[in-house]
Amino acid sequence: MLKITDLHVHYGGIHALKGINLTVEEGQIVALIGANGAGKSTTLNTICGLVRASSGKVEFLGKDITNAPSHEIVRMGLCQVPEGRKVFAEMTVMENLLMGAYSRRDRDAIKADCETVFELFPRLRERQRQLAGTLSGGEQQMLAIGRGLMSKPRLLLLDEPSMGLAPLLVKEIFDIVKAVNQRGTTILLVEQNANMALSIADYAYVLETGNTVLHGPARQLADNEEVKAAYLGG
Amino acid sequence: MQRHPNQLRGSLIWIATAALALLVINVMIARDMLDSYIAGVLNIAGINIILATSLNLINGVTGQLSIGHAGFMAVGAYTAALLSIHYDTPFALNLIAAFVTAAIAGFIIGLPTLRLRGDYLAIATLGFGEIIRVIIQNLRITRGARGLVGIAWVDSFFYTEIIAILTVLIIWRLVNSAPGRAMVAIREDEIAAETVGINTTFYKVMAFVIGSAFAGAAGAVYAHKQTFISPNDFTFLKSIDVLVMVVLGGLGSITGGIVSAVSLTLLPEFLRFIDEWRMVIYPLLLVVVMLFRPQGLLGTKEVDFRAARESIRNLALRLSRRRAELDESGGAVDVTLGESTAANTLQVVVEQETSCRGKDGESSSKPLLQTNGLSIYFGGLKAVSDLNLSVPEGALHGLIGPNGAGKTTVFNMITGLHPPSEGEIYFKGRRIDGQPPHAITDTGIARTFQNIRLFKDLTVLDNVKIAFHLTAGYGLGSALVQLRPFHEKERWIESEALRLLRMFNLHDRSMELAKNLPYGEQRRLEIARALATNPSLLLLDEPAAGMNPQETANLMDLIRRIRDEFGLTILLIEHDMSLVMQLCERITVLDYGVTIFEGTPEEVRTNPRVIEAYLGEEAV
């Protein structure tokens, strides 16, 4: 579904990605783990066109989308839920969700999808009319995921969905990610909480200073001694 | 002019060069080699330099969008003109009077309006600029729309150049000193600036007053050059002209402003040969420049010899580092574990870190921080109710609870960002609630933010240097005169900042922009910045967010070390239970703003209410 070949990215003088190769199959949850500064967020940002690749190729559904404008990529069915939530603070929950459906014109289906989001996140239904900026961190994260789903993506990129969430909520968010996946959305997940990420993912890649150094079925990586030592906290 | 080039430090070579150029022009005028038309245009260019540079201090450096600059120019011009006409006073005196009255006008207008931000401030300054003009238009003493005539003529080009040089020199020195850094910090993030101890209102007003004063000086020169002034010389359009110069040159770039002030004065003159098309081509050129250089000609950069030297040195450094990188290619594993070496380097440096830290609490028997019945309402919602927190000196105290429980709000109350609705906060036995954030920082409380509030577009080093504001210990006068103690202080700040960065293993990054650091390093930088304010209580809001387990373990070492070495008391909010349980001696659990439990990690872990509200079954 998504295929990245030999992707390089530079920020000024910094060589952030040094030849990433990565494949996401339809229906999977793929996790991307690695230390801070390894290039995880950069990879996601390059996929969805926010950062320009200096060389390499990103293909989505067989089409070359390298350096295409972000709004066109979203229209093709690829949506990112950014790190740090980035909800529209001065808009209500409902307005945020509708913004997520900005590129769509099918009014009835949008309504139905809103309903689906509220089923996944009952808490958002209670707070439809509240300004997003007044939500707590966990609720904002839910809203950000919900907004992402409103574009009806075939592939959803999640950047650290569990960041800053209470332990109870972390579990809840991962359950939701799984539920979203079971409803047919493919997921590429970046996570610091590698334990959790590997427990729900089908396949995983380990990034180190801009390179993919390891990849394999998630279960297998979770048992890998090196990975355990470096990312799972022993 | 360039008799003592070594006194004018590197960055001032430009001004000397400019002075020389002007001197040449001066001689040419004196010998009739330049006709009076060209001399007149150059004179206006000089006045525009004064206006652009002074507005740059307000708009570019401090980030307060003001579009009423012509109003202050008018105040200065009329002050000088009236003195000249009625009392026949010498130019120098008129100039000083213009400077002072414009400064007073700036203070009167700035104090109320600078509470506003962005577009609101722009509209307010626009309004005040117009009010000044309308008042002048309707006063008898200013002879209304007829204007004033008979102002003594002076050889103004000579004065213009001196005042332009002085303006640039003074504002340049100001910007490159602690008060200037405070102003830049306000532009970058006002809340973060407050929490590192900067009195934002004071510095905003200061920038506004100084900027207005120099606009007044420009007005005085203008009045004595024209010998005739009328309110129409100082309309809204004049303000916009100056604003265009600043934006075109690059907001915050003094040299950029000078370049564009000169070119925008000369350009229409050069375009005279196309007659009426001039006024089509000129704006078109502006549009084209803004399309291709939206950040202005120079962005926020300066044409600066010292900076040029610096960047060449950095380039060389980078090249040699890349060579070193190539040499050790293959050793990729080492590099990824770089974060853990941070903790090791720390130890070495920390040992020297004992001097200049004497701010600790007076009595150790009393709690360092105590809150009594602390509550806050947002609208009808009680976000935190009746919080009684007592943190003894040297403690590592945890604050946990579900998202939305009010933890960050507690931090905001302690640091003064949200004054509590009820209750009291005592720090070192003194009551601190109700004080502004910068004053609370001054008493010794520093914090980090959940969603990281660094000065993103400044370098890593500048982020820390700004936070030395409270300990910098020199004022405006010292910043302008720049004698030995000033340079000593600046060197001290720089070396202390670098030392802190080294502790956090960020010294390699000191010249990078904060926004280019990866998330985990931004968090570390924020802690370093907080420590630069020399706190005795440090509030950490989710320091481990966005870190993997290995990095979290390193962070724990770091937190323990800084507590011991700096004699800190630490209050921290965190969701990572491995960190909280291992690090904290006592933990307070909040749920819906209410304290549901307080105790040791062991008690918290096994408390059924905490498990139900927060931990969940599995975490036990």
Over residues A179-208, the pLDDT tens digits come to 999 988 999 999 888 888 999 999 999 998
- Alpha helix locations (H) across B377-449? 407-414, 437-443
> Please, which residues bridge with residue A33 across strands?
A206
Answer yes or no: is B484 within a domain: no
Q: Give how far A191 is from chain B: nearest CA, Å.
A: 8
Please say which residue of B330, B346, B373 terminates a domain: B330
Provide DSSP, B570-599.
EEEE-S-HHHHHHH-SEEEEEETTEEEEEE
Confidence of residue B212 (pLDDT cuts 50, 70, 90): very high
Is B398 near chain A, with CB under 8 Å? no
Rounded average pLDDT over B545-569: 88
Residue B410: which residues within 8 A CB-CB, separation 6 or more?
Answer: B374, B384, B387, B389, B399, B590
Which range (B183-197, B302-316, B410-424, B514-528) has the least confidence? B302-316
Q: Residue B310 — pLDDT band, cuts 50, 70, 90?
A: low
What letter does residue A232 receive in the DSSP assignment? S
Residue-range definition of the domain harbouring residue B318: 304-330
Q: Are residues B227 and B308 in the same domain?
A: no
- Distance, CA of B57 to CA of A187 (rounded, Å): 49
B57: pLDDT confidence band, cut at 50, 70 and 90? very high
CA A98 to chain B, closest CA, distance in angstroms equals: 24
Higher pLDDT, B348 or B581: B581
Q: Over 60: is that where the pLDDT of B602 sits?
A: yes
Mean pLDDT for the stretch of residues B222-244: 89
Nearest to B614 among A41, A139, A168 (CB): A168
Asked if residue B433 is part of any domain, the answer here is no
- Interatomic CA distance for residues B170 and B189, integer angstroms: 25
Structure confidence by residue, pLDDT tens digits, B395-434: 999 999 887 788 889 999 999 999 999 999 999 989 999 8
d(CA B571, CA B393): 11
Q: How many separate domains does chain B show?
A: 2
Residue B349 is predicted with a pLDDT of 40
Chain B, window 290-329: residues with a beta carbon less than 8 angstroms from a chain A beta carbon = 318
Residue B601 domain-assigned (yes or no): no
In chain A, residues with a C-beta closer than 8 Å to the C-beta of B401 are 166
B310 and B174 in a single domain? The answer is no
- In this prediction, residues B354-370 reach a mean pLDDT of 54
Residues of B in contact with A160 (CB under 8 A): 546
Instruction: Look up the pTM and report it.
Output: 0.79
| Six token digits for residue B298 | 């120079």
What whole-number distance in Å separates Cα of residue B414 and Cα of residue B433? 7
- Sequence letter at residue A118: F
Half-sphere exposure (CA, 13 Å, Cβ side) for B113? 26
Segment B169-198 shows an average pLDDT of 90
CB contact B436 to A (< 8 Å): no
Contact between A166 and B318 using a beta-carbon 8 Å cutoff: no
| Residue of A168, A213, A232 to mutate, interface with B, max B Cβ within 10 Å | A168
Q: Within an 8 Å CB–CB cutoff, is residue B547 touching chain A?
A: yes
Contact A11 B516 (CB under 8 A): yes
* B80 and B167 share one domain: yes
Q: Give per-residue burial for B169-204: e unless 16+ CB within 10 Å, then b.
A: bbbbbbbbbbbbbbbbbbbbbbebbbbbbbbbbebb
Q: B3: pLDDT confidence band, cut at 50, 70 and 90?
A: very low
Q: How far apart are CA B342 and CA B606, in angstroms?
A: 34
State residue B328's pLDDT score: 54
Mark whether B189 and B85 lie in a shared domain. yes
Residue among A41, A83, A166 whose CB faces B575 most closely: A166
Q: Judge: A167–B337 Cβ closer than 8 Å, yes or no.
A: no
Q: Which two tokens stand for residue B238?
A: 């004049």
| Nearest chain B CA: its distance from A57 CA (Å) | 24
Residue of B545 and A64 predicted with greater confidence: A64
Report chain B's mean pLDDT, rounded to a whole number.
Answer: 82
CB-CB under 8 Å, A13 with B402? no
Domain boundary among B179, B204, B237: B237
- Note the pLDDT tens digit of each residue in A207-225: 988 888 889 998 888 888 8
Q: Output the CA angle A29-A189-B578, nearest 5 degrees.
A: 115
For residue B539, what are the β-bridge partners? B447, B571
Percent of chain B with pLDDT over 70: 85
Residue B325: per-residue pLDDT: 59
- B324 and B181 share one domain: no
The candidate with the shortest Cα–Cα distance to B451, out of B503, B408, B415, is B408
Give the pairing of strands B367-378 and B381-387: antiparallel
Same domain, B126 and B218: yes
- Per-residue exposure over B294-326, b if at least 16 CB sit within 10 Å of its own CB, e if not: eebbbebbbbbeeeeeeeeeeeeeeeeeeeeee
B335 touches A at CB < 8 Å: yes
In Å, how far is A139's CA from the nearest CA of chain B? 8
Token readout for B603 is 């008690």
Asked if A33 and B548 come within 8 Å (Cβ–Cβ), the reply is yes
pLDDT confidence band for B382 (50 / 70 / 90): confident
What percent of chain A is modeled with pLDDT above 70? 99
Q: Among A46-60, B88-102, B114-128, B413-427, whose mean pLDDT is lowest?
A: B114-128
Contact by Cβ (8 Å): B146, B230 = yes
Asked if residue B322 is part of any domain, the answer here is yes
Q: Which residue of B has its CA nearest to A137?
A: B403
B150 burial (CB, 10 Å; 0-12 / 13-18 / 19+) is exposed
Min mean pLDDT across A74-78, B347-351, B385-389, B531-535 is at B347-351
Query: Could you give the CA distance from residue B164 to residue B326 in angstroms, rounded to a whole number?
Result: 50
The verdict on residue B512 lying in a domain is: no
Of B337, B404, B614, the CB nearest to A136: B404
End of a domain among B187, B210, B237?
Answer: B237
Sign of CA dihedral B399, B402, B403, B406: negative
Residues 6+ apart with CB under 8 A from B136: B74, B78, B142, B231, B234
Any domain includes B520: no
pLDDT on residue B615: 81
Return the DSSP state at A92.
B
Q: Is the pLDDT of residue B576 over 80?
A: yes
* DSSP letter assigned to residue B231: G
Residue B514 lies in a domain: no
Alpha-carbon dihedral of residues A166, A168, A172, A173, nearest 10 degrees? Answer: 20
B422–chain A nearest CA distance, Å:
21
Residue pair B553/A233 in contact by the 8 Å Cβ criterion = yes
CB neighbours of residue B58 within 10 Å: 28
**All domains of chain A in start order, with CATH:** 1-77+161-234 (3.40.50.300), 84-152 (no CATH)
Q: For chain B, what percent of residues have pLDDT higher than 90?
A: 35
Q: Is residue B74 part of a domain?
A: yes
CA distances to A221, B315, B317 from B323, in Å: 34, 12, 10
Positive or negative: CA dihedral A107, A108, A110, A115:
positive
